[in-house]
Amino acid sequence: MDYEEFEKDLPVLERGKWTLGLDHIRDLMAVFDNPQDKLPTVHIAGTNGKGSTASMIARTLQLAGYKVGLYTSPSLVSFNERIRINGENIADEKLRAMKDYMKEKLAGTKIQCSEFELFTAMAWLIFFHEDCDIIVLEVGLGGRLDATNLVKSPLVSVITKIALDHENILGHTISEIAKEKAGIIKYYTPVVVYPYPKEAIEVLSASAERQGAPLKTIDTASIENIYLENRQQGFNYKGEDYQLNLLGKHQVLNACLAIEALAEIKRAGFNVELKQIKEGLQTVSWPGRFEWVHQDPEIIIDGSHNLDGVRAMRHAVEDYFPNIPRLGITGMLKDKDVYRMLGEVVHLFDEIVTITPDSDRAMTASELTKATHMVTGLQKVNTYTAQNNEDAMAYARRWADQQEGDCLICVFGSLYLVGELRELVFESFEANQ
């Protein structure tokens, strides 16, 4: 199923006419007798790391023998991947059947909702009708006014790293954005949070105190011995050794969040053992997030789409691929902090290929090339303005063939771009998925 098929015959508000808030989703779910209130839920907000943390928790719970629903956004390749049950994308026929059910129930009502609100409702309905034991629910935008925040009493609230993004909606400071994320903290519900700077932790702590919610911050002093081996990284947390199938030191922090959240889930009555947590982290998959998809040449695909994400990607490249030729392939959206994002990486790569992502918010490849040269100033970086995705891949292939020894190709800058290029990378370089 694609967006057009999903929206057809459902009461979708025109783009630009929706506003953040819970009124629409509350009225919508009342039509279906509020299935979200009957589903044990792990609720996850944050700027970066939500999907990775959610996938670790969901994978572990699946290994513990539970039927687990996972709701994330945006999708990388397939619309269906937003709704997963035990790691499998929801099938088209189930989406169509649920859409028909929703269309019938909503006929004659005056309800109108955003696409995200309707799809969130569909996810809750599918998880309920599929008898999921527990669901892991990722916030779409912000937290306080996000449609997913209709959840009344989650088992645990998790807040991943907070950074500047969507400032026109969420606020222009870390404190303002933290206030929006803190909106998912519920009365007497445990909350596990990232090790934030003082201005964020003060906001979160105050909110938790008002709600009587016990707040736990991951203990960074207890993280030791981070290492890379066979495309996995290992680390020790609170005396236990773990291996993680996601790369980047930032993912170690996300893993520690997942470990602490799973401890709270266990306290809530779910049977989750240490061996299942270890296996969950070792076998988790989250495509498009510093994903190492090919060797000779080395190819990394990373959906870093804001300044903090690009900075984490840069650190990971420097850690894992030092002292080899590096080619960056990037496309960005106009409403992102493009110049500062480029400033993080222009000297990371020997050459940068620019692409126009398939989005009405996209910066064109030629505009991005000009921005790259403006950022570098007198120390120019080599650039290539690709005509399309296929042209970019062909150029990358030629570049790799000209290198002697190891080299790296890194695709980054937008989830739209990563989704478009991921399969093309596999085709062009015959990568092993």
pLDDT above 80 (res 289):
yes
Asked if residue 335 lies in contact with residue 164, where contact means CB atoms within 8 angstroms, the answer is no
Residue 208 in contact with residue 181, Cβ under 8 Å?
A: no
347 within domain boundaries: yes
Count: domains in the chain: 2
Residue 345 host element (H or E):
helix 338-345
Cα→Cα distances 98→218, 248, 369, Å: 39, 38, 45
With a cut of 90, say whether residue 406 has pLDDT above it: yes
Of 219, 237, 252, which one is at a domain's C-terminal end? Answer: 219
9 vs 103: CA distance, rounded Å: 7
Calculate helix-pair angle for 249-267, 307-320, nearest 10 degrees.
Answer: 110
Question: Taking residues 153-162, what's their average pLDDT?
Answer: 96
pLDDT at 321 over 50: yes
Same domain, 87 and 202: yes
Q: Choose one of 219, 237, 260: the last residue of a domain.
A: 219
pLDDT of residue 8: 79
**Of the candidates 195, 219, 243, which is a domain's last residue?**
219
Q: What is the pLDDT of residue 305?
A: 79
Q: Which residue has the higher pLDDT, 28 or 173?
A: 28
Check whether residue 119 and residue 35 sit in a common domain. yes
Cα 207 versus chain centre, distance: 24
pLDDT of 168: 56
Q: Which helix (H) or strand (E) holds 211?
A: helix 198-211
Tokens 């596990």 sit on residue: 192
| 241: in domain | no
Check: CB of residue 42 under 8 Å from CB of residue 155: yes
Domain holding 363: CATH number? 3.90.190.20
Tokens of 233: 């990284």
The pairing of strands 134-138 and 156-159 is unpaired
Domain region containing 204: 3-219
**Torsion sign across C-alpha atoms 191, 192, 194, 199:** positive
Q: What is the pLDDT of residue 89?
A: 97
In this prediction, residue 70 has a pLDDT band, given cuts at 50, 70 and 90, of: very high
CATH of the domain at 154: 3.40.1190.10
First vs last C-alpha separation in the chain: 23
Q: How far apart are CA 331 and CA 364, in angstroms?
A: 8
Residue 165 has pLDDT above 60, yes or no: no
Instruction: Give residue 417's pLDDT.
Output: 84
Which has the higher per-residue pLDDT, 14 or 261? 261
| pLDDT number for residue 217 | 94
Report which of residues 267 and 174 the model is more confident about: 267
Q: What is the DSSP string of 369-433?
A: HHHHHHHHTTS--EEEE-SSHHHHHHHHHHHHHH-SS--EEEEES-HHHHHHHHHHHHHHHT---
Q: What's this model's pTM, rounded to 2 decimal places?
A: 0.93
Report residue 432's pLDDT band, with 50, 70 and 90 as the boundaries: very low
Please report the pLDDT score of residue 433 as a whole number.
40
Q: 348 lies in a domain?
A: yes
Residue 253 host element (H or E): helix 249-267
**Residue 202 in domain:** yes
Confidence of residue 172 (pLDDT cuts 50, 70, 90): low
Q: Which residue has the higher pLDDT, 16 or 186?
A: 186
